[in-house]
């Protein structure tokens, strides 16, 4: 009987964002992409002496492969050799694998459940690294890993060398098309974070809501061989993610090219992971909010259009949540991506608490060099005296929307708007509540219309969750581009 096989790369974000060098990030992204596509097929051929038939591939995206083996000896040879091949390709990649024997020549939902359960059981097991090297050997200074070659005056390790060899990011170029731009993705961070915008960038991470449960529901509805349906599903969800990204990136480019200082042939963002229901991107800070809004809207629309045809579980499509970490260019990226992931999880948690599944985002701006985790950041930056400034998540539709946040931030960037006064009020909340009260009283006189339209009487009251810090954050990031 055939075997259903799974391979998953662990710690993808940490592997990619181990560095702040954009070319290495691009190479790491390419490396992950190849490990489940072209290189996987190459390893399959080397270890089994045969070609992998595309019809036997169920999933190949974002560091994950699910495929069929029809011969036990081939499976044995492949599973015994694949981890070694991956380590030779890039020693820092950690992969896990599992397989189950099918009860017939058809894949059933029970087979898939058993495979994923086997994979989950070993996902959190400790992986012993073979990459430590000898204590007396030369080390790469930036990574502290064993050096294998020299680039200029710098010693580099094996992972860094492989990443730099793949720095063109050809797979992402082939996957994503924006208008008639041939290669619009920057290779230097300076093309994303400009000096005249105070070097603020955003790391965005988005992930679909409840997809695991929806897949389980879909599988329960299916009888017999699910191979073709599973292949169709994984292909379509991947395409939905790509198309939603392309639409959002095109909109960002339209905003960007209206800037007379802008480089007209690039989009100031770099896609890092695009596939399945996952999206991670580095983008210029002032473009992030509208980019994520457009992505979330179109991800819903595309999944509703494509997936509803596969199973009734997806009749309303898929929603997604996103986290946006606003950081300076030199802030360690691995902290930034960790914050973006935590913010995304926090938005999902709010959905669960409210027993709903809505597309939403959370964001945070890192103002200092110290970051431990979002819970610590929230207590330090958002819970101030008797005020609570954690006003997210912001939703695509309904109440507390992303559109409302964007509209308010634009109002605060207009000439004569009290953005600076509100920033000073936030400072007073930290330091002197009497000053804070007096400052709001003055705004009632000097900016009476905005005082009413922004409902400052309520939004500055003690004991409520106030959106003012979020308004000032987005308005300040936007005003750098004006």
In the chain, what percentage of residues exceed pLDDT 90? Answer: 49
Concatenated DSSP letters of 250-269: HHHHHHHHTSTTS-TT--SE
Residue 356 and residue 466 in one domain:
no
Q: Which one of 80, 98, 123 terminates a domain?
A: 123
Q: What integer is the mean pLDDT of 384-401?
A: 91
Q: What's the pLDDT band for 71 if we cut at 50, 70, 90?
A: very high
Q: What integer is the mean pLDDT of 149-154?
A: 84
Higher pLDDT, 250 or 462: 250
Tokens of 308: 């509803």
User: pLDDT at position 429, please?
Assistant: 86
CB 386 within 8 A of CB 462: yes
Listed in order, strand segments (DSSP E) in 241-370 are: 269-275, 278-284, 320-328, 360-365
Residue-averaged pLDDT of the chain: 88
Q: How far is Cα 280 from Cα 288, in angstroms, rounded to an integer?
A: 12
Residue 220 and residue 103 in one domain:
no
Beta-carbon contacts of 48 under 8 Å, excluding residues fewer than 6 positions away, are 71, 74, 77, 78
Q: Which one of 56, 91, 123 terminates a domain?
A: 123
Neighbours of 53 (CB within 10 A): 11
Residue 141 included in any domain: no
Beta-carbon contacts of 15 under 8 Å, excluding residues fewer than 6 positions away, are 9, 28, 32, 92, 93, 94, 159
CB 334 within 8 A of CB 143: no
- DSSP-derived 3-state class of residue 208: strand
Residue 248 and residue 335 in one domain:
yes
Identify which of 476, 422, 471 has the alpha carbon closest to the alpha carbon of residue 444.
422
Residue 403 included in any domain: no
User: pLDDT at position 310, please?
Assistant: 84
Identify which of 262, 145, 243 has the alpha carbon closest to the alpha carbon of residue 197.
262
Higher pLDDT, 427 or 126: 427
Output the CA–CA distances (angstroms, integers) from residue 284 to 186, 197, 290, 386, 399, in the order listed.
11, 9, 11, 34, 27
Say which CATH number the domain at 24 has: 3.30.70.1230
Residue 474 included in any domain: yes
Residue 85 and residue 20 in one domain:
yes
Output the CA–CA distances (angstroms, integers) from residue 173 to 19, 20, 169, 181, in the order listed.
21, 21, 7, 10
Q: What's the pLDDT band for 482 if we cut at 50, 70, 90?
A: very low
Residue 395 included in any domain: no
Task: Indicate the burial class of 373 (C-beta count within 10 angstroms; 0-12, 13-18, 19 or more).
Answer: exposed
Any idea which of 164-178, 214-228, 353-367, 452-466 has the lowest mean pLDDT?
Answer: 214-228
43, pLDDT greater than 50 = yes
Say which CATH number the domain at 327 has: 3.30.70.270
Residue 148 included in any domain: no
Residue 250 and residue 313 in one domain:
yes
Q: What is the pTM of this model?
A: 0.92
Neighbours of 365 (CB within 10 A): 22
Residue 169 included in any domain: no
Q: How far is Cα 114 from Cα 119, in angstroms, rounded to an integer?
A: 9
Any idea which of 26-35, 425-434, 466-475 has the lowest mean pLDDT?
Answer: 425-434
Q: How far is Cα 238 from Cα 67, in angstroms, rounded to an integer?
A: 17
Residue 370 and residue 431 in one domain:
no
Q: How far is Cα 94 from Cα 16, in angstroms, rounded to an integer?
A: 12
295, pLDDT greater than 50 = yes
Residue 199 and residue 330 in one domain:
yes
Residue 308 and residue 184 in one domain:
yes
Q: How far is Cα 241 from Cα 299, in angstroms, rounded to an integer?
A: 6
The parent domain of residue 216 ranges over 179-381
Number of domains the chain contains: 3
Residue 361 and residue 415 in one domain:
no
User: pLDDT at position 297, please?
Assistant: 97
Report the alpha-carbon angle 238-244-245, nearest 5: 90
CB 258 within 8 A of CB 276: no
Tokens of 116: 């994923």
Listed in order, strand segments (DSSP E) in 103-194 are: 147-151, 154-157
Residue 302 included in any domain: yes
Residue 54 and residue 192 in one domain:
no
Residue 171 included in any domain: no
Neighbours of 235 (CB within 10 A): 16
Residue 197 and residue 305 in one domain:
yes
CB 31 within 8 A of CB 166: yes
Residue 100, beta-bridge partner list: 4
97, pLDDT greater than 50 = yes
Q: Which one of 381, 401, 430 terminates a domain?
A: 381
For 333-385, write each residue's pLDDT tens digit.
999 999 999 999 999 999 999 888 999 999 999 987 777 788 888 888 888 88
Residue 364 and residue 237 in one domain:
yes
Q: What integer is the mean pLDDT of 181-206?
A: 86
């Amino acid at each position: 009987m055939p075997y259903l096989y799974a391979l998953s790369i662990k710690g993808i974000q940490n592997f990619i964002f181990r560095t702040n060098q954009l070319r290495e990030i691009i190479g790491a992204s390419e490396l992950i992409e190849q490990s489940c596509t072209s290189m996987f097929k190459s390893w399959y051929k080397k270890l089994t002496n045969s070609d992998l038939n595309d019809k036997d591939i169920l999933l190949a995206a974002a560091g994950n492969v699910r495929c069929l083996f029809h011969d036990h000896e081939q499976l044995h040879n492949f599973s015994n050799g694949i981890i070694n091949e991956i380590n030779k390709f890039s020693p820092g990649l950690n992969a896990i694998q599992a397989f189950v024997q099918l009860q017939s020549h058809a894949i059933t939902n029970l087979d898939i459940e058993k495979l994923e359960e086997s994979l989950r059981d070993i996902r959190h097991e400790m992986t012993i690294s073979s990459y430590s090297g000898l204590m007396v050997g030369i080390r790469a200074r930036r990574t502290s890993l064993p050096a294998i070659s020299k680039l200029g005056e710098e010693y580099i390790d094996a992972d860094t060398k492989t990443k730099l060899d793949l720095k063109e990011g050809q797979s992402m170029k082939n996957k994503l098309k924006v208008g008639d731009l041939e290669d619009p993705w920057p290779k230097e961070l300076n093309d994303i974070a400009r000096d005249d915008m105070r070097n603020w960038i955003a790391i965005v991470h988005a992930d679909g809501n409840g997809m695991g449960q929806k897949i389980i529901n879909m599988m329960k509805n299916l009888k017999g061989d699910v191979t073709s349906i599973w292949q169709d599903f994984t292909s379509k969800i991947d395409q939905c993610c790509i198309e939603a990204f392309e639409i959002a990136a095109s909109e960002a480019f339209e905003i960007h090219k209206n800037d007379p200082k802008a480089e007209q042939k690039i989009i100031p963002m770099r896609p890092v992971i695009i596939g399945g229901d996952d999206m991670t991107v580095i983008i210029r800070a002032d473009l992030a909010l509208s980019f994520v809004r457009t992505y979330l809207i179109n991800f819903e629309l595309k999944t509703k259009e494509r997936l509803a045809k596969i199973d009734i579980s997806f009749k309303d499509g898929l929603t997604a949540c996103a986290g946006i970490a606003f950081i300076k260019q030199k802030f360690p990226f691995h902290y930034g991506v960790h914050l973006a992931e935590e913010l995304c999880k926090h938005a999902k948690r709010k959905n669960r608490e409210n027993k709903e599944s809505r597309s939403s985002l959370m964001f945070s701006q890192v103002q200092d060099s110290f970051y431990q985790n979002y819970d610590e950041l929230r207590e330090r930056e958002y819970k101030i005296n008797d005020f609570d400034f954690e006003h997210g998540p912001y939703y695509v539709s309904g109440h507390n929307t992303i559109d409302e946040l964007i509209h308010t931030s634009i109002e605060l960037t207009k000439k004569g708007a009290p953005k600076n006064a509100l920033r000073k009020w936030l400072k007073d909340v930290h330091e002197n509540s009497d000053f804070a009260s007096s400052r709001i009283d003055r705004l009632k006189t000097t900016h009476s219309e905005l005082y009413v339209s922004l409902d400052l009487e309520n939004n500055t009251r003690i004991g409520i969750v106030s959106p003012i810090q979020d308004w000032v954050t987005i308005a300040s990031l936007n005003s750098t581009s004006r």
